[in-house]
Chains A and B, each alone.
Chain A
Amino acid sequence: MSAWRKFLNSPVGPKTTHFWGPVANWGFVVAGLVDTQRPPEIISGNMTSAMCVYSALFMRFAWMVQPRNYLLLSCHAANESVQLYQLSRWAAANGYLGDKEPVTDGQTPTAPPVKA
């Protein structure tokens, strides 16, 4: 019970803003996981790339900030993984990974055809 109390009263615990901000950021992870089950045509290349850079930067931020914020670090590590996976699905569907024909929708720019 005292470990729980320690957590409740910790400087990055649920009584502080250092807790609820990172909890909100888990929303990106959940959204990403839900979207892995949907077809790659709905993946936004812009948003997913931005998320990959954003979470990489914030992993470093969470490590360097005082007090060190492991909750924020884990959230961004999880998001980095999900967003990189989604980015790879987007790249494959748009012909950037070279193994199959691009699924074009006429809107997303696809990779130029490889000369045989």
Chain B
Amino acid sequence: MSMATSRLVALWNHPAGPKTIHFWAPTFKWGISIANIADFSKPPEKLSYPQQIAVTATGLIWSRYSTVITPKNWNLFSVNVAMACTGIYQLSRKVMHDYSSENILEKQA
């Protein structure tokens, strides 16, 4: 029991642990993916191409770089993979909506 407590204490006091910004900043990055998932139910006309492209691009670039830094940061990797996935999904929703046959006909009318 004391071994488990001392490991918890060690984690708590870790230089990149929950008392530090090195923990909370990357942890909060999940908020962006969660916000995007909440926006899955928004109508595609309300989505912003620039914002979703930015979400996707930063997600992809940071996913790559989190595997080439030392040490590899799988926490950073996973949060950025999730961001890229939500961005790609939102972009596909908007593109499919804007380029569906009814919409193209409407725009030509």
Residues of A within 8 A of B42 (CB): 44, 107
Cβ < 8 Å to A, chain B residues 10-32: 20-22, 24-26, 28-29, 31-32
Taken together as a complex, chains A and B put the C-alpha atoms of A47 and B39 apart, in Å, by 8
| A-B pairs, 6 with minimum CB distance | A31-B50, A27-B54, A61-B25, A46-B35, A50-B35, A24-B61
Q: Is the CB of A25 within 8 A of B58?
A: yes
Instruction: Tell me how many residues of A have a C-beta within 8 Å of chain B.
Output: 31
Cβ of A35 within 8 Å of any chain B Cβ, yes or no, is yes
Chain B at the A interface: SS class = helix
Query: A-B contact count, CB below 8 Å?
Result: 88
**CB<8 Å pairs between A and B, sample of 27:** A17-B65, A17-B69, A21-B61, A21-B65, A27-B54, A28-B51, A30-B50, A31-B48, A31-B51, A31-B53, A34-B50, A35-B48, A35-B50, A41-B46, A44-B47, A46-B38, A47-B32, A47-B36, A47-B39, A50-B31, A54-B29, A57-B21, A57-B25, A64-B20, A64-B22, A107-B42, A107-B46
Residues of A within 8 A of B89 (CB): none
Contacts A47-B32, A53-B28; A28 near B22 (Cβ below 8 A): no
Closest to B20 in A: A64
Interchain CB contact (< 8 A) of B58 among A28, A50, A60: A28
Cβ of B109 within 8 Å of any chain A Cβ, yes or no, is no
Q: Is the CB of B53 within 8 A of A57?
A: no
Shortest CB–CB separation between residue B25 and chain A, in angstroms? 4
